[in-house]
Structure 1
């Protein structure tokens, strides 16, 4: 299945910048299709006081250090940055990468980030409505910037809410990310197709990505049958890229 893609998400927690740079350089040299980090301020698992690094400053370094893979945050929390500024940051990183940046974005969910950094957490639907309102602002600013993005600068939305999130994907996104297992992915994928029909969007215009654990790469065939075309292997330090290489070999066999 040569049309399938393989990427990696490197967790910027319990690690060093040196280790992250070594890992994303190695992943790029392997020919992965995409390299991602996440957008949080504190660890999501393990020791809650472990080291952690901010996403967009890392992404600028990732853009400069690599030459092949597409890159982005899986996914940016929309609440953390003014949407006009986020568009400009994304455009600038796109230029640093020679046009390889993808703006992955979602409505946000990790309450500790909000509380400790002074953002209003609100409710899930309030955060979704803010994302709904900010997406057109981001797209409008991207269209106004001088110079414009160097590459296509696609927007990828992460999430699986059937009433709001998937509608936003159909309306605004070039890519969509969620999780398995295959049954879950298939069900959400079908609902996204329904939203595309309702809003007049060609479902084929939206890339379907799935985030999978390093120990779950054997599930790729079921996920592919469910509609996934881009597999993103999630890993923390120590950054073992062997499962990524194994998945590359399997999907391209």
Structure 2
């Protein structure tokens, strides 16, 4: 496949600090406005707060998301591979894909949220081991979602023996994603297994640099880089009005101090006009899709401005 033509715009929703009814109401509204809706795979809230914030598990939440939407592409950015047997996860993915009518595009990562690993009884291995688990899992999942009738794989962490996956994907295939800014193994994983790569909370210059690494990894496998879709997640700090935008930026400066510039580089900030320009900068840096990352409570005026003003203006401004 090749990346979709034109700019794609999406929303990445952290399913925490909200009721399921509130999440469903938001998902339904987004389905009429954006191209992509994704959630994350955490067992505790992020950033960590000791498991004190209400939070819903990803597989069950994705099933609900698939059932209440009809248009947008759906994703998980990203499944934490050490949490689930990959063959079982492949079966869950197929069920969600059928619920969505073929709109599901799951992502996979090595995990990072140590407090939730420990609290739920998972070993938090060193990063190299977790990447080995990711590679083995993707070998199994890509095999089970592919055209072969059975998949056999024997690894250090995961194994399957002539496992079948019936039914298969709703439309015959399911695009797989990975995410992160790792210098070597993330690009290699994306180029080998995936149809898409995502990175959160970086500025356009850093995004371009990371994008070049993805291109190089594709080149090392003689893969056309245009066949790997690229996206970025931006923290949502938009203001619906100039006064609201100024207040939000000051809040970030007060909260982050010397790190404020780093935070705002990977965020959508300012007014709706500013946001359109920021989205264009990421498009110029190589992004096929730009997502905003939302966490409850949501500034409803800012979200309305994003969906009603920024999204159509950005689509018109960027080709």
| TM-score of the superposed pair, with normalisation by structure 2 | 0.76
Q: CA 1:247–1:125 in 2, change beyond 3 Å: closer, same or farther?
A: farther
Mapped to 2, the partners of 1:22 and 1:81 lie a distance apart of 29
> Structure 1: how far apart are the matches of 2:296 and 2:181?
27
The separation in 2 between residues aligned to 1:221 and 1:128, in whole angstroms, is 33
Q: Given the two structures, how large is their TM-score scaled by the length of structure 1?
A: 0.95
Q: What corresponds to 1:119 in structure 2? A: 122
How many residues are treated as equivalent by the alignment?
A: 251
C-alpha contact (below 8 Å) 2:17/2:297 kept by paired residues: no
In structure 1, C-alpha distance between the alignment counterparts of 2:69 and 2:84, rounded to whole Å: 25
Distance in 2, matches of 1:205 and 1:100, equals 18
Does the Cα contact within 8 Å between 2:48 and 2:115 map onto a contact in 1? no
* Unaligned segments of structure 2, at least 5 residues: 147-163, 238-266, 269-274
> Aligned pair in 2 of structure 1 residues 46, 118: CA closer, same or farther (>3 Å)?
closer
Match 1:67 to one of 61, 67, 70: 70
Asked if residue 184 in structure 1 is aligned to residue 184 in structure 2, the reply is: no
CA distance in 1 between counterparts of 2:48 and 2:95 reads 33
1:35-68 CA-to-partner distances (Å, cap 9, x unmatched) read 1111001111375411111011000010000000
Match of 2:313 among 227, 246, 250: 250
Aligned to 2:94: 91
Q: Which one of 255, 259, 280 corresponds to residue 221 of structure 1?
A: 280
Q: Which has the larger Rg?
A: 2
Provide the secondary structure at the position in 2 that maps to 1:208. Answer: strand
Unaligned runs of 5+ in 1: none
RCO higher in structure (CA 8 A, sep ≥6) = 1
Which range moved further: 146-155 or 53-62?
146-155
- C-alpha contact 1:77 1:106 (8 A) present in aligned 2: yes
Report the Cα offset of residue 134 of structure 1.
1.3
Alignment of 1:135-146 (within 5 A): 135-143=138-146, 144-146=164-166
**Counterpart for residue 193 of structure 1:** 215
Partners of 2:105 and 2:119 in 1: CA distance: 28
Q: CA deviation at 1:236?
A: 1.2
Kindly report the root-mean-square deviation, in angstroms, between the aligned alpha carbons of the 2 structures: 1.4
